[in-house]
Amino acid sequence: MTEHLKSSRFAHRRMRHVRERIIESLLFLAAFSSVAITVAIVVILVRESLGFFEHVSIIDFLTDTQWTPLFDDAHYGIMPLVAGTLVTAGVALAVAIPLGTIIAIYLSEFAPHRVREVVKPVLELLDGIPTVVYGYFALLFVTPLLQYFFPELPGFNMLSAGLVMGVMIIPYVSSISEDAMRAVPMHIREGSYAMGATRFQTALRVVTPAAFSGIAAAYILGISRAIGETMIVAVAAGMQPNLTWNPMEPAATITAYIVQVSLGDLPHGSLGYQTIFVAGLTLLLMTLVFNIAGHWLRRRFREVY
């Protein structure tokens, strides 16, 4: 009788143990799926790109100044797309980084509690609005507005797309920078105030350097976002590859090119189909470079309070 009870209790405990193990394994698989996704991204981009590089030399890809894969006289130089991407991102960051940083410093060090509670969520809405809506705004509101000042500005141009993208990225920069500044312990600030520093001096000379690694992370995220942004540039900057550093001109970015090709009807496995994967790989590598730079910066300037 007791033997029986013991063994049944033992069986029950074993069951429980097995069930716990199964659940843990399933949960692990779910977590591991993120790694699988990364691997899948790399495998697919690299596989299609390898197919591409069987036909196009990597030298041509990097040095040719034209990108006309869909023409009869096909050229496969990525430079024009990279230039378009860098110019639009550059314009966007010229807006987002100064404004985002100023807003972060203001909200963290100057603004009364109430103002921060209201302004922060409102600014974060900027990030919540669909990018295609921003595209509309850039093409049909900002460009006409700019044309009022610069009559020769073409209907598609990188300036307007970049400016609007910059405003969209502001909350990325300001939110994360502000969090980093607010994480600076109060006793460091008190040290500065006790020396007779003003708010501005404390913010600029003590809090900002102390939060540097967090602010750098915010910038890196903003940069990645600007490089990878698609719809605003696809709608407002034009889709013609154009090797120029002048933001007043139209030009396609890497992302806009992918959209343009996807809208058409390219047969699976064709060279044209493969070009969008090469473009995607280039884009991924560009964001990777900035992310690695960001990691390096953070490690080098990690704050120890």
Q: Which of 231, 188, 222, 191 is nearest to 103 (CA)?
A: 222
Q: In angstroms, what is the minimal distance from the CB of 89 to another protein?
A: 11
Q: How many residues bind another protein (CB under 8 A)?
A: 102
- Give me the DSSP letters along 16-47: HHHHHHHHHHHHHHHHHHHHHHHHHHHHHHHH
Q: 10 Å Cβ neighbour count for 298?
A: 16
Out of 284, 293, 297, 298, name the contact with another protein by CB under 8 A: 284
Residue whose pair of structure tokens reads 């980084």 in the numeric block: 97
Q: Which of 80, 54, 47 is nearest to 66 (CA)?
A: 80
Task: Fill in the per-residue mask, 40 to 59: x = in contact with another protein (CB under 8 A), - = not in contact.
Answer: xx--xx-xx-----------
Check binding of 198 to another protein (CB under 8 A). Answer: yes
Q: Which of residues 87-106 bind another protein (CB under 8 A)?
A: 99, 102-103, 105-106
Q: Which of 104, 38, 89 is nearest to 226 (CA)?
A: 89
Out of 70, 86, 259, 293, name the contact with another protein by CB under 8 A: 259
Q: In angstroms, what is the minimal distance from the CB of 88 to another protein?
A: 13
Q: Point out which span in 55-63, 74-82, 125-133, 241-249 binds another protein (CB under 8 A).
A: 125-133
Check binding of 300 to another protein (CB under 8 A). Answer: no
Check binding of 162 to another protein (CB under 8 A). Answer: no
56 vs 227, which CB is nearer to another protein? 227
Q: In angstroms, what is the minimal distance from the CB of 69 to another protein?
A: 16
Token couple for 286: 């560009």
> H helices within the chain, ranges in order?
2-55, 58-63, 79-105, 113-128, 131-137, 143-149, 158-182, 186-194, 199-201, 208-210, 212-228, 231-236, 254-263, 271-300
Check binding of 188 to another protein (CB under 8 A). Answer: yes
Check binding of 285 to another protein (CB under 8 A). Answer: no
63 vs 305, which CB is nearer to another protein? 305
Cβ atoms of 215 and 101 closer than 8 Å: yes
User: How far apart (Å, rounded) are the C-alpha atoms in residues 68 and 192?
Assistant: 58
Check binding of 224 to another protein (CB under 8 A). Answer: yes
Check binding of 10 to another protein (CB under 8 A). Answer: no
Check binding of 171 to another protein (CB under 8 A). Answer: yes
Check binding of 170 to another protein (CB under 8 A). Answer: yes
